[in-house]
Chain A
Amino acid sequence: MESAIFNFLPIWVVMFPFFMSMIILIISKRSEKLRDGLSVATAVVTFLSVAAMYPFIISGEIISYTIFDILPGLGITVRVDILSFSLAAIASFVWMLVSIYSIDYMSHEHGGDRYFPIFIFTLGSTLGIFMAGDFFTLFIFFELMSLISYVLVIHEETKEALRAGYKYLIMTIIGGLALFFAIILTFELAGSVSLNEGTLIHAPSTLAFFAFLSFLVGFGMKAGMFPLHVWLPDAHPVAPSPASALLSGIMLKTGAYGLIRVVFHVFNVSVVKEAGWDVLLGVLAVITILLGSAVALTQLDLKRRLAYSSVGQMGYIILGIALLNEKAMVGDVFHIFSHALMKSTLFLAAGAIIWKTGLRNINDLHGIGKKMPVTMGAFTLAALAMIGIPPLNGFLSKWTLGLGALEAGAPFYVVVLLISSLLNGLYYLPIIIAAFFGGEHEEEHGEGVKVKISEASLKMIIPIAILALSCFAFGLMPNNIAFELSVKAASFLFNGLP
């Protein structure tokens, strides 16, 4: 009986947002308040439903069944293991907070009637990716999410946004095609694309390499991996800030999730090692990290800087996959958590500033910290976490990743991580210092933030504050659920069931 409920939950958490997005679409014509309320309620219920799986999942169970078969070995299947659960949990958690934030943010924007249904629909498709039991199902939801989030990217409908959206769309389609090709190849080689098999392809071959490469292109595109990252710094800044938070915080992770699944479920650690594909991943990760961090340093647009920072941070996650050991995987999964929290905090805080002041250029933000102390405080906390200052969560993920790198016998990667941390420091610290300490001096010259500006509304501040505090909590506090989940997920990936 109990397991029947748990079996039902994954379908519920995917279908419920889909269903509700239709309702919200209909409702939005009638009442804005109802629309906002329903959106938040949907996100909350979805999060609670995901969270409800926790006791079942943490006990080491896997929810896995087939809904229906299209072809033998190819069908719509559901599978929730600890990794899926971890990602679904963080995704729905951030989504919930962002939905609250969106209410006030969108009240000043056009097109809320379009935004909210899409917003909720994207939640459903993102969760669908995490809950998919095979690559075919995953692909369906992956495409769904990618295409539907295009609407979020171009929401502002400026020329810039449309251009970026076009780029996003093209790249997404290429990625989707590559993924599809990879799935076909896998199906051809293994006769199945299910995640339940453990390992689908047992030996490297030319065809397997092509499959791997296509997976890499498909998922790497989404994850913003060099050299497929070019859409990211264009698309993320032009989207409305809550959408940027989700794009950077959550949707990038679907790519990383896919890559983890590819390495551990299509192939396995020994195959990847034997074929030397981890070197390829490692090299790309290093370039991604350094490039993202270095280019972020040169950006003057706040959101663009954050977007490049995302590129760099996704490099960490790819590096964690490339290292192929359990410790690194702990850091990897934990960094998925950390980065989701940090980057959404940063984007939401940046959004609050932009919403309130209209300023996007970093040089204009002198003294903003005095006017919006909570927002900038949260920004600071998240930025420090990004640099990897203990006891924030960013430090913990960097630490475990670094240990993983050393265990893999590659202290070089640690150096890369630390250089990137230094660069993170170089591009975040000036913002913070100028925001809190530089104000008065600059105001004399008529620059800087105008006097009248005050803190954004509560509905915007509270999600930011919660996210920022969770950066702190998931670093320092005992009973670090995120870390436990990461440890269990890594152990699950390497040793099978606990």
Chain B
Amino acid sequence: MLSAASEVMIGKEISALIISWRPVAVVLFPILASILLFLVGSKLKKVAGLIASAAGMITFLLVLSLYPLVKQGIIEYRYSELMSMGLFFRVDYLSFIFAFLVSFCWMGVLIYAVSYMKIEERPLQYFSFALLTLGSCLGVVLTGDLISLFLFFELMTFSSSLLVIVRMDREAMSAGIFTLYMGVAGGLVLLFGIFLLYSAVGTVELKPLMDLLAKSEISPALIFTCFFIGFGIKAGVVPLHLWMPRAYAASPAVVNALSSGAMIKAGIYGIIRILMLVLTPTSLETGELFSFAISTGYVVMWMGLLTMVVGAVMALMQGNILRLLAYSSISQVGYIITGLGAGAYLFGAEEAMGYSGAVLHAFNHTLYKTAFFLIVGIIVYKTGELEIKKLGGLGRKMPLLTAFFILCVLAIAGIPGFNGYISKTLIHDALLEAHHHFGGFHLYFAEKVFMLGSALTLCYYMKFFQGVFLGTGQEQGSGEKQERHVPWLLYLPLFVFALFILAVGIYPNFFVEEFVLASTNVFTFEPYSIKHIMGFRFFDSHPVEASIQVLLLGLALYLPLNKWKLYDRKFPSWMSIENLIFAPAARIIFKLLCRFGVSMDGSVNNFYLGLGGSFLTFCRYVGYFDSGLDNFYETSSHSALDIAKKTKRFDDALNAAYEKTSHSARDLADRTTRFDGALNKAYEKTGDTARRMADRTTKFDEALDKTYENTGKAAMRLAGKTEQLDRALDQGYEKAGTSTKDFIEKRVKGEGERQTEDFGTPQKKASRPGYNPSEWNIRNINFDSLLLALMLGLVIFILFYFVRDL
């Protein structure tokens, strides 16, 4: 609301929102031209420079064509489908200022380079990459959200690194790679900031977001730090400036002019947008939300002062004019940052003063720093030399160049009547206002530091001037052999830049009001602070006094420095920030990461291998065990087998035996059966026989009975007869005895024999009565004989059987 009021005061309508594709054309045209030039340029080598500068001019005209639209309002163009998040172009006055200075610088440098690139190699690459960088740089300043900005920011990082290595010697390569790494790192930090901002507020549009941000948990300080580092690397804020001197020393002046004149402004632009716009509330009424911007502004201001002084001191130390200008650029960025910081610090009071000082200084710096680089380019073109010690005496040889140089020095030193004075005055006044507003020694001190920085700026340009333009330049004596004739075309852009330097210096209020203050409409600034600068009297006594003070201080510093050549001393290498902090930090981080990563990877791998190994060992043991078991089994199985074999044999034998036995058993059984049958029969027969025998025996018995009876009778008769015989015998004996006596005496021998035979026979007849050996009688057969007979019969039977079988 109040910002709307401020617009009314400036007398512009900004409510209009214009949809136009012109910003897209502005960005796309140089990029397409670059690609085209790259593809077909090899056939048109001679006119590549002309084509490129024509493209640069057309781009500049396209940017200018935005002016009428920007005067009416804000230009927007949105491709919502692209990149799935949309590509958003949004041009307000601030964007236009930066687009203007970028394209203006580019046009001048490209025209200059048409002639200049004759002494450099690979002009084609230079021109096409320069156009690509132009497109991306314009993209950075013309986009309306941070994602689109980031896209072009990264493109710019890459294309500008390509510009740095256009010479492709070792130094350029290493500088280019270093630039690229720092750019990529910065881009990633920036991306982190964008992430945080988006997650906090859900949008990445470039507009006041503090109202939303205050509600989220994410600290704005962290977000700002990320953005400040990301953009600060591009801008060259002091601890992040390392790539600049390297890159500047390694690349042609026409690259440095672009880099210093325009590209670092893209970083500045980003810081302005974040610090002054994004991290502020939408309206002045919620004043407490400014507190973040105010406290940050204080830090930023001191960062700026540090950058300014360190850059100036380092510039003073340099012997190489390109490096000197590089540090000078860093120092000048310090002014701009100081202005911004002071502006933010003064939010709610005199913020417009710091802001307009910073923006105008960015513009002014583009003018004179580009001119400086172009002057150095001409020096290089003429002499091929960059070391101050080897140069000298150019003042007499090249008066026009000397005049331009003096003009630029006057501008950068802040002499009234030149543009530097205007912006420096605004920044200086902002510091004074801060002191006035907040009081305190530190702000007083800040103002003094600013004065010192300005004085040092004067010192190193005096050194430059003295070394290059004064003197005889005959120290080496060989400088002239390769001196070239400088074509007038190289001077042409210098005229234009000089014109602008003077114009801003002489008509400051027009530029401040028409350009710088017109851009405040999107910011939440106090109306009265804007009003304060309207009609600011730049040529009042106190700013001029300050300028004179700086001049005197500069001279006072320079004279002793020059007398004892203090600036030729080198700082010991350990004192450089790079060697002190960044290099070890980077080394430690990468060693840590890589070593840690490699050793971790290796150890995991080894762990697996070890695991595999121990598993293998384990398996081997199991294998041993297994083979032992196996052996055991084998041996046991062998023996078992043996046993088995034996058993088998035994078994077989047994089997056979059984078989045989069974055979024989069967046989036997068969035979037994048969035998049994036979026996049966035999028994039967025997029984029959026995019965018959019994019958016969009975009969026989009866017969025997009869026989016995008969025998008894006969015996009795026999006994009677025997008695008779006995008596007869007795008588006979008695007779025989008498006669025997005679007979024995006569025939003893014969008599005996006859007597023995006679005697035996009657005895036998008496013991077995009825015995008759020739007759079959059961009484003659005892049991043994029967068994014997049976067995005999059996054997005979068996024998008979076998015989039959066989």
Q: Which residues of A contact B (CB under 8 A)?
A: 170, 226-227, 229-230, 233, 287, 290-295, 297-298, 384, 387-391, 396, 399, 402-403, 406-407, 411, 414-415, 418, 421-423, 425-426, 429-430, 433, 437-438, 440-441, 475-480, 483
B67, CB-defined interface residue at 8 Å = no
CB of A173 to closest CB in B, whole Å: 12
Q: A438 touching B173 by the CB < 8 A rule?
A: yes
Q: Within 8 Å CB of B187, what residues of A?
A: 389
Q: A390 touching B154 by the CB < 8 A rule?
A: yes
A414-B184 in contact given A423-B593, A433-B177, A480-B84 (Cβ < 8 Å): no
B168, CB-defined interface residue at 8 Å = yes
Q: A433 touching B173 by the CB < 8 A rule?
A: yes
Q: A406 touching B184 by the CB < 8 A rule?
A: no
CB of B59 to closest CB in A, whole Å: 21
Q: Within 8 Å CB of A291, what residues of B?
A: 597, 600-601
Q: Which residue of B lies closest to A226 (CB)?
A: B604
A389-B158 in contact given A290-B593, A429-B181, A437-B173 (Cβ < 8 Å): yes
Q: Identify the stretch in B49-57, B190-198, B410-418, B431-439 within 8 Å (CB) of chain A at 4 or more residues.
A: B190-198
Q: A396 touching B83 by the CB < 8 A rule?
A: yes
Q: B188 touching A418 by the CB < 8 A rule?
A: yes
Q: Which 8 A-B pairs have the closest CB atoms?
A: A294-B597, A478-B81, A406-B199, A390-B151, A294-B593, A425-B184, A418-B188, A227-B604
Q: Within 8 Å CB of A421, what residues of B?
A: 184, 188
A389-B189 in contact given A290-B597, A291-B597 (Cβ < 8 Å): no
Q: How far is the CA of A291 from the CA of B79 in the complex (A)?
A: 38
Q: Within 8 Å CB of B151, what residues of A?
A: 390-391
- 8 A Cβ contacts from B593-609 to A: 593-594, 596-598, 600-601, 604-605, 607-608
Q: Which residue of A lies closest to B154 (CB)?
A: A389
18 A-B contact pairs sorted by A residue (CB < 8 Å):
A230-B608, A233-B601, A291-B600, A295-B597, A389-B187, A396-B83, A406-B198, A407-B199, A414-B195, A418-B189, A422-B185, A429-B184, A430-B177, A433-B177, A437-B168, A476-B83, A477-B82, A478-B81
Q: B173 touching A440 by the CB < 8 A rule?
A: no
Q: Within 8 Å CB of A430, what residues of B?
A: 177
* Among B84, B180, B181, B184, contact of A396 (Cβ-Cβ < 8 Å): B84
Q: How far is the CA of A377 from the CA of B360 in the complex (A)?
A: 41
Q: B604 touching A390 by the CB < 8 A rule?
A: no
Q: Within 8 Å CB of A170, what residues of B?
A: 612
Q: Which residue of B lies closest to A292 (CB)?
A: B597
B13, CB-defined interface residue at 8 Å = no
Q: A294 touching B596 by the CB < 8 A rule?
A: yes
Q: Which residue of A lies closest to B151 (CB)?
A: A390
Q: How far is the CA of A297 from the CA of B596 in the complex (A)?
A: 12
A433-B168 in contact given A230-B608, A291-B601 (Cβ < 8 Å): no
Q: How far is the CA of A407 from the CA of B217 in the complex (A)?
A: 12
Q: Within 8 Å CB of A437, what residues of B?
A: 165, 168, 173, 176
Q: Within 8 Å CB of A389, what residues of B?
A: 154-155, 158, 187
Q: Within 8 Å CB of B180, what residues of A?
A: 425, 429, 433
Q: Which residue of A lies closest to B187 (CB)?
A: A389
* Among B150, B188, B195, contact of A422 (Cβ-Cβ < 8 Å): B188
A440-B168 in contact given A298-B598, A390-B83, A433-B180 (Cβ < 8 Å): yes
B751, CB-defined interface residue at 8 Å = no
Q: B598 touching A295 by the CB < 8 A rule?
A: yes
Q: How far is the CA of A194 from the CA of B191 in the complex (A)?
A: 42
Q: Within 8 Å CB of B612, what residues of A?
A: 170
B169, CB-defined interface residue at 8 Å = yes
Proximity bits, B155-180, A CB within 8 Å = 1, else 0: 10010000001001110010011001
CB of A95 to closest CB in B, whole Å: 25
A406-B83 in contact given A295-B597, A295-B598, A425-B184 (Cβ < 8 Å): no
Q: Within 8 Å CB of A433, what residues of B?
A: 165, 173, 176-177, 180
| A-B contacts besides A396-B84, A433-B180, 7 pairs, CB < 8 Å | A291-B601, A396-B85, A403-B195, A422-B185, A426-B590, A438-B173, A441-B173
Q: A418 touching B192 by the CB < 8 A rule?
A: yes
Q: How far is the CA of A246 from the CA of B366 in the complex (A)?
A: 52
A391-B83 in contact given A291-B601, A298-B594, A433-B165 (Cβ < 8 Å): yes
Q: How far is the CA of A35 from the CA of B174 in the complex (A)?
A: 49
Which of the listed residues A226, A389, A414 has the most CB atoms from chain B within 10 Å of its own CB? A389
B494, CB-defined interface residue at 8 Å = no
Q: A426 touching B604 by the CB < 8 A rule?
A: no
Q: Which residues of B contact A (CB under 8 A)?
A: 79, 81-85, 147, 150-151, 154-155, 158, 165, 168-170, 173, 176-177, 180-181, 184-185, 187-189, 191-192, 195-196, 198-199, 218, 590, 593-594, 596-598, 600-601, 604-605, 607-608, 612
Q: How far is the CA of A407 from the CA of B202 in the complex (A)?
A: 11
Q: A478 touching B154 by the CB < 8 A rule?
A: no
Q: Within 8 Å CB of A411, what residues of B?
A: 192, 195-196, 199, 218
CB of A315 to closest CB in B, whole Å: 12
Q: Within 8 Å CB of B600, what residues of A?
A: 287, 291
Q: How far is the CA of A398 from the CA of B602 in the complex (A)?
A: 28
Q: Within 8 Å CB of B168, what residues of A?
A: 437-438, 440-441
Q: Within 8 Å CB of B169, what residues of A?
A: 441
CB of B260 to closest CB in A, whole Å: 23
Q: Within 8 Å CB of B198, what residues of A?
A: 403, 406
Q: Within 8 Å CB of A426, what residues of B?
A: 181, 590
Q: A479 touching B81 by the CB < 8 A rule?
A: yes
CB of B159 to closest CB in A, whole Å: 12
Q: Within 8 Å CB of B192, what residues of A?
A: 411, 414-415, 418
Q: Within 8 Å CB of A396, what residues of B?
A: 83-85
Q: How far is the CA of A388 from the CA of B177 in the complex (A)?
A: 18
Q: Within 8 Å CB of B590, what residues of A?
A: 297, 426
Q: Within 8 Å CB of A388, what residues of B?
A: 188, 191
Q: A295 touching B83 by the CB < 8 A rule?
A: no
Q: How far is the CA of A230 from the CA of B191 in the complex (A)?
A: 32
Which of the listed residues A294, A390, A399, A406 has the most CB atoms from chain B within 10 Å of its own CB? A390
Q: Which residue of B lies closest to A405 (CB)?
A: B195
Q: B601 touching A295 by the CB < 8 A rule?
A: yes
CB of A459 to closest CB in B, whole Å: 24
Q: Which residue of B lies closest to A478 (CB)?
A: B81
CB of B113 to closest CB in A, whole Å: 20
CB of B703 to closest CB in A, whole Å: 107
Q: Within 8 Å CB of A422, what residues of B?
A: 184-185, 188
Q: How far is the CA of A294 from the CA of B158 in the complex (A)?
A: 23
A402-B173 in contact given A422-B188, A423-B593 (Cβ < 8 Å): no
Q: Which residue of B lies closest to A436 (CB)?
A: B162
CB of A469 to closest CB in B, whole Å: 14
Q: Within 8 Å CB of B185, what residues of A?
A: 422, 425
Q: Which residue of B lies closest to A477 (CB)?
A: B82
Q: How far is the CA of A121 from the CA of B19 in the complex (A)?
A: 55
Q: Within 8 Å CB of A483, what residues of B?
A: 84
Q: Within 8 Å CB of A402, what residues of B?
A: 191, 195
Q: How far is the CA of A170 from the CA of B322 in the complex (A)?
A: 61
Q: Within 8 Å CB of B188, what residues of A?
A: 388, 418, 421-422
Q: How far is the CA of A297 from the CA of B193 in the complex (A)?
A: 26
Q: How far is the CA of A245 from the CA of B230 in the complex (A)?
A: 35
Which of the listed residues B154, B181, B607 has the most CB atoms from chain A within 10 Å of its own CB? B154
Q: Within 8 Å CB of A399, what residues of B?
A: 85, 147, 195
Q: Within 8 Å CB of A293, what residues of B?
A: 597
Q: How far is the CA of A295 from the CA of B596 in the complex (A)?
A: 9
Q: Which residue of A lies closest to B612 (CB)?
A: A170
Q: Which residue of B lies closest to A425 (CB)?
A: B184
Q: How far is the CA of A16 from the CA of B168 in the complex (A)?
A: 53
CB of B132 to closest CB in A, whole Å: 14
Q: Which residue of B lies closest to A479 (CB)?
A: B81
